[in-house]
Amino acid sequence: MKLVKEKTMESVKIGDKVVSFRGEEGTLVDFMEPHKASSSGRVYVQCKDKDYVDQWYPGVIGCEFVEE
């Protein structure tokens, strides 16, 4: 599976800059693919103003996992 932007289907990779729907800017530092069909997976984002990594659903940054 790969992580893509929902609107453009453009591939998103670790190290890419991302923005949440709340306007939080950060860097994608890791992700976990869905482990079953009903799961959406997780993304891990280091936000600019935080000293820890946030764990979000991919939709928070406008992304989703798709089959390659």
pLDDT tens digits, one per residue of 12-51: 999 999 999 999 999 999 999 999 988 999 999 999 888 9
Segments of 1-68 assigned E as strands: 2-5, 17-19, 25-32, 42-47, 53-56, 63-66
Q: How far apart are CA 19 and CA 28, in angstroms?
A: 10
Global pTM value: 0.91
State the pLDDT at residue 62.
97
Query: CATH top-level class for 2-66?
Result: mainly beta
On whether the CB atoms of residues 48 and 39 are closer than 8 A, the answer is no
Q: What are phi and psi of 52, to 5 degrees?
A: -140, 170
On whether the CB atoms of residues 25 and 17 are closer than 8 A, the answer is yes
State the pLDDT at residue 37.
86
Domain ranges of the chain: 2-66
Structure tokens at 22: 């709340």
